[in-house]
Amino acid sequence: MPSPTSYTAVITSEAIQKLKLLCHQELPREACGLIACRIDDSERVASAILPMNNTHPEPEHHFKFDPAEWVRTLFHLSQSRYSLTGFYHSHPSGPPFPSNEDLTHPLWSSSVSVKEPFSGAEGLQMLQMWIVSLADPATTEISVFTSSSNGMRRLVLTEISV
């Protein structure tokens, strides 16, 4: 039976504020990037937000990482003693739930997992999909998902102050 923490995504207050700001700055385009934790953090608290350029030809409705930037960013993570925990993207006018395109995107549909040094001390680690909805100008909604044997599973998002 999975531990209760396997159903939870934890992020620092500073990181969640940065995530929201970066997504708002990209409007009307979809923002995208990586989320990471300290490699020595056994709780895997998301504490680093690394924006990436959205190179999709239709960035208002889709996202795509630049392959060279992707490699540079992963190298930077390993050199900075951070571990990749997930990816984020925004839905400028949609809800914080996976679209049909999200569900078939190679990042999510192949049960992505990574090996050291990007996954922390546990070895293989399932990655998380963070979706930031900017549909309501009064509030920013964030949902986090991970792949499971039954499809995508929504995680409980917990913000902590450090």
pLDDT in tens, 32-76: 999 999 999 988 999 999 999 999 999 999 999 999 999 999 899
Domain extent for 62: 4-160
Domain count across the chain: 1
Q: Is the pLDDT of residue 141 over 70?
A: yes
Q: Does 30 qualify as catalytic in the annotation?
A: yes
Residue of 30, 43, 58, 122 marked active site: 30
Domain with residue 11: its CATH number is 3.40.140.10
> How many other β-carbons are positioned within 10 Å of the β-carbon of residue 159?
15
Identify the pLDDT of residue 5: 52
- The model's pTM: 0.86
Q: Tens digit of pLDDT for each residue in 64-116?
A: 999 999 999 989 998 999 999 999 999 999 999 998 888 887 666 554 444 44
Strand duo 128-133 + 141-148: pairing: antiparallel
